[in-house]
Amino acid sequence: MKGLQPAIAFDRVTRRFGESGTAAVDAVTLAVPERQFLAVVGPSGSGKTTLLRMVNRLTPPDEGTVRVDGEDVMALDPIGLRRRIGYVFQGVGLFPHMTVAENIAITPRLMGARRDAISPRVDELLDLVRLDRHTYRGRYPRELSGGQRQRVGIARALAAQPRIVLMDEPFGALDPLTREALATDYRALHDDLGLTTIMITHDMQDALLLTDRVVVMRSGKLIADGAPQALMGNDQPDYVRALMETPRRNAERLNRLIAGGDPA
Amino acid sequence: MIEHLDPRITEALARLPDYLGSHVLVSITALALGLAVSLPLAVIAARRPTLRTLLLAVTSIVQTIPGLALLALFYPLLLGVAALSEQTLGFGFSALGFLPSVLALALYSMLPTLRNTITGLNAIDPDVRQAALGVGMTPRQSLLIVDLPLALPVIMAGIRTSAVWVIGTATLSTPIGQTSLGNYIFTGLQTQNWVFVLFGCFAAAILALVVDQLLALIERGVGARSHIRVAAGLTGLVLLAAAALAPALARPQGDAVVGAKTFAEQYILSALISDRLRNAGFTPARRDGLGSAVIFQALAADEIDAYVDYSGTLWANQMGRSDVLPRDEVLRDLGVWLRDRHGIAMLGSLGFENAYGLAMSRERAEALGVKSIADLAAHAPSLAIAGDYEFFGRPEWTALRDAYGLQFRDQRQMQAEFMYPAITAGDVDVITAFTSDGRIEQHDLVVLEDPRDAIPPYDAILLVSPRKAKDAAFIAALRPLVGAINVETMREANLRAAGGGNESSPDTVAQWLWSRIGTQKPPAK
C-alpha cells in the first residue's frame, strides 16, 4: 500500500454525541486503498454508521482528519463532496413522490446535466442493476418490492459516476435469494466500474464472502482488521472469534450435509 | 321568470354582483396576504422548536378573538397609522373598509396554514430527508424538491381551512365599511328581512364550498401529478375571481358615498339621500351598516360624504358633553363645533327626534301608576330592564341613572328586534326604545316622560363631509330634506320597513317616504 494514495483515510478520528460526550467513533485510524471492497461489521451502536457518514460529511468529525483522495473533507464543499460519492442508505430513502427514473436522475440533475443526457444514463443504470427499463422507469417506489427498491437505490448512488460508494446495510431487509442475487451483482459492478466501496453489514457471511477486507468495530474502536481468511484464524481477539464461530459452524454443518451425512 | 319571484329575492339578486364581487375581492386579497406571510414563517419555524411554539401560541390566541372584534380593532388602529403617516410622510390612506378587513382576515387565516405546513414538514420520513442530504442537495433544494412537495397535501388541507374561514368571517367586515355578503345579513337582521339574511348565509356558504372544492381539485391534481386537474382547479379559481370582480371593476366609481348605521331607519334615510343625489345627477355609492363610532370618523375623513346622525349622540360621544341644554342650543353648539373642529357641514334637523327613551307596556305602566321616569325609580328595584348593546355603555344612561337614582333588579342586553317580543311576553318590564320607532305604537307601549331633562335631545341631523361641504350642487340636492320629516311619518316609515313583507325594503320605503314629504304639511317654524 505504500506510495499509493488511499481513496479514503481516517486519521485518529473521533466523534462524540450527546451531553455525556460518549465517543461513537473513538480515535479510529483506517486507510482504504482504491478499488478495495471493505466491510465494516460490529454490533448495533458500535459506531459503524457514524464512521460511514463522516466520509461525505453528513457527520463532521470532532477530532482527527478524514481524507478523500488525499483531501481533508472539512476543507471541501460538502455539497460537491456528497455528489461525487454514492451513498446507499439503510432505509433506502427513495423519494416517494418521484418515479424510478426521477429518483435515479436526481444527482445528475442537481449537477445540472442536460435532460437529453440524463435519459439514456437512466436506462444504462437500470440495465446495470438488472431492472427492465421499460417496466420500471415510470413506476413509483411504492409500486416496487424491497429488492427492486434497493436496486433503484444502488442505481441512484451510481448515477453521477462516483468512484467511491458508501453502503449502509444495503441488503438488510431482503429475502435470501434476492440478497444473494443483488450482492453478487453489486460485487460485479464494483469490479467492472473500478469502485472503492465501504459496506456496513450485520451479516458476517456477506462480509466474508463478498469483500476484500473486513474491519470489526466495537464501542467505537476497530478491534480487528484483515482479509476474510485472516479473520477466520485463531490469533484473533475473543470477540472476533465468537463472531466467526457462527459462519464457521454453519459451513461445517453444511459440508457434512452436502457429503450426505448428519449435519449435527 | 324573474317577475314571479318574491321582490325581496329580486332585490337580493340585483345586489349580488356588488356584494359578491366585494366579498371575493376582500377574501382573495386577505387569503393571499395570509399565505404570503404564513408559508415562509412556517418553513422557517418548522425546524426551530422555540419559534414554532411561539408562533402557534400567538396565532391560536388571535383565533380566540371573536372575528367581529378583531375586525373592529383594526379600524382605530389603522386610523392612527393613517394620521401618523399623513403627518410624517405627507400622505394618508383610507382606514375604512378594505384595508382593515384585509389585515384582520389575513391574520385570522394564518393559523390553519401555519399549523398544517409545520406539521406536514415535520412529518416527512427522516430516511427521505437523510437521502436528500446524501445525494448532495443544498438545504434550499431539499426544501423545494423534497420537503414541500411531500408536505403539500397537508399544506393544501390547511389552505382549504383558511379559505373557508376567511370567506365565512368576511361577512363580518360589513360594520367596518367593507361591502360583503354580510351586507345581506346585517341589513336583513335590522329590517327583519329574513329572505336577505338567508340569502347572505347561503351565498357565503356556497362561495366557501366552491372555493374549497376547487382547492381540493388542485390538491388531488398535485397528489396524482395530474397537470390537467391542477390547471382545471386554477382556471376555476381565476374564472370565479374574474366573474366576481368584473362587475365591481366595470361599475363606475361613485362620486359621492352615503353612509348608514346599523338600523332600519338609517337604511331608509340613506336610500332617501341616495335617491335625492341621483336625482341631482350624482352617482352615489352606499356604505350601509357602519358602526356608530366608525361612521362619524369616516365622514370627518371624507370617506363617506353624507349620513344622518342624532344630535344627542354626537353631543355626548364626540363632544364629550354631559350637560343637557335645550334643543336649539344643542343644535347651535353642535353645528359650530362640527364646522370648526372637523369642517363638517350640518345642514340641519330632518324634523324629527329619535331619542332614547324608556318604554313600558301601557297596561303595566297604568297598573303601577308610572307616567315618568321619576315614578319608575320607586318601582325599579323589583323590575327588569333590557337595553340594546350600546345603551348601558353610553353617558346618557349614566346621566339618567344618576338623575333618578335608578336601580333595577335585572339589567339585560339584547338585539333591538328581540326587546319588543321580550316586553310583550313579560320577560322584561322596561326597555330602551327609540322615540321614532313605529313598534312603540304597534306593541301598545308608552314612552315615559323625562321631567328632569336627563336625556339630551336627539334631533336627526343631516351631515355632509368636509369635501362636499363646499359643493353647492350637492348641498342643494339634500336641502329639501331638512325639516321635511315629522316623527309620525318617520315612525310609519320604520314600521313599514319592519313589516317583513314585500314592500319593506329600504329602497321601497324611501320612495314612499319621498312621496309623503311632498304631501305632508311642513313642520311649524
Q: Which residues of A touch B149 (CB under 8 A)?
A: 97
Nearest to A124 by CA among A105, A143, A138: A105
Asked whether residue A253 is domain-assigned, the answer is: yes
Residue B203 pLDDT class (50, 70, 90 cuts): very high
Quick one: which of B94, B108, B107, B283 has its CA closest to B178? B94
Could you tell me the three cell numbers for A31?
Answer: 486507510
Q: What is the pLDDT of residues B383-428, one digit of tens each?
A: 999 988 778 877 778 888 888 988 898 888 887 778 888 888 888 8
Asked if residues B44 and B122 have their Cβ atoms less than 8 Å apart, the reply is: no
Closest to B150 (Cβ–Cβ): which among A79, A87, A97? A97
Q: Are residues B202 and B59 in the same domain?
A: yes
Domain count, chain B: 3
Q: What is the pLDDT averaged over residues A221-233? A: 88
Number of domains composing chain A: 1
Residue A120 within a domain: no
Domain assignment present for residue B525? The answer is no
pLDDT in tens, B261-276: 888 889 899 999 999 9
Q: What is the mean pLDDT of chain A?
A: 89
- The cell for A126 is 437500470
Same domain, B286 and B382: no
Cβ–Cβ < 8 Å for B174, B295: no
The span from the CA of B73 to the CA of B81, in Å, is 13
CATH number, domain at B464? 3.40.190.10
Q: Is residue A264 part of a domain?
A: no
Please report whether residue B154 resides in a domain: yes
Segment A40-49 mean pLDDT: 90
Cβ separation A90–B128 shorter than 8 A: no
User: Closest to A95 (Cβ–Cβ): which among B138, B146, B225?
Assistant: B146
The three cell numbers locating residue B525: 317654524
Indicate whether B92 and B191 sit together in one domain. yes
Q: Is residue A15 part of a domain?
A: yes
Does any domain span residue B391?
A: yes
At A39, which CATH number?
3.40.50.300
Q: Is residue A35 part of a domain?
A: yes
| Cβ-defined contact of A110 to B135 (cutoff 8 Å) | yes
Q: Residue B1: which pLDDT band, with cuts at 50, 70 and 90?
A: very low
Assess if residue B437 is contained within a domain. yes
C-alpha cell at B24: 371575493
Gyration radius (Cα) of chain B, Å: 27
Q: Could you identify the residue written with the cell 396554514? A: B113
High-pLDDT (> 70) share of chain B, %: 94
Residue A65 has pLDDT above 80, yes or no: yes
**Angle between helix B487-497 and helix B506-519 axes, rounded to 10 deg:** 160
Query: What is the DSSP code string of B248-313?
Result: HHHSPPPSEEEE--SSHHHHHHHHHHHHHHHHTT--EEEE-S--HHHHHHHHHTTSS-EEEEEHHH
Domain boundaries, position B376: 356-447
- List pLDDT tens digits, range B300-310: 888 889 999 99
**B140 interfaces chain A, CB cutoff of 8 Å:** no
Please give the angle made by the CA atoms of B368, B372 and B376, to the nearest 5 degrees.
50
What does the alpha-carbon distance between residue A50 and residue A62 come to, in Å, rounded to a whole number?
12
Percentage, residues of chain A above pLDDT 70: 98
Are A93 and B138 an interchain contact pair (Cβ–Cβ within 8 Å)? no
DSSP code at position B389: T
Same domain, B184 and B172: yes
Q: Are residues B139 and B49 in the same domain?
A: yes
Residue A98 resides in a domain: no
Query: Model pTM?
Result: 0.72
In a domain, residue A142? The reply is no
Measure B132 CA to nearest chain A CA, in Å.
Answer: 8
Whether residue B453 lies inside any domain: the answer is: no
Query: What is the Cα–Cα distance from A202 to A172, expressed in whole angstroms?
Result: 8
- Domain residues for the domain of A212 are 8-84+162-258
Does B148 lie in the same domain as B58? yes
Q: If you average pLDDT over every residue of chain B, what do you get?
A: 85
Whether A156 has its CB under 8 Å from any CB of chain B: the answer is yes
Q: Which of B208, B233, B250 lies at the terminal end of a domain, its last residue?
A: B250
Do B156 and B272 sit in the same domain of this protein?
Answer: no
What are the tens digits of pLDDT across the range B363-380? 989 998 999 999 999 898
In a domain, B452, yes or no: no
Most confidently modeled of B9-18, B163-172, B494-503?
B163-172
Residues in A touching B136 (Cβ below 8 Å): 79-83, 107, 110-111
User: Is the complex ipTM more than 0.90?
Assistant: no
pLDDT band at B248 (very low <50, low <70, confident <90, very high): low
| Strand order across the beta sheet in which A85-88 lies | A85-88, A164-168, A196-200, A37-41, A213-218, A221-226
pLDDT band for position B175 (cuts 50, 70, 90)? confident
C-beta atoms of A82 and B130 within 8 A: no
| Pick among A50, A56, A87 to test the B interface (most B CBs inside 10 A) | A87
B361/B324 same-domain check: no
Domain assignment present for residue A3? The answer is no
pLDDT of B519 over the 70 cut = no
CATH of the domain at B415: 3.40.190.120
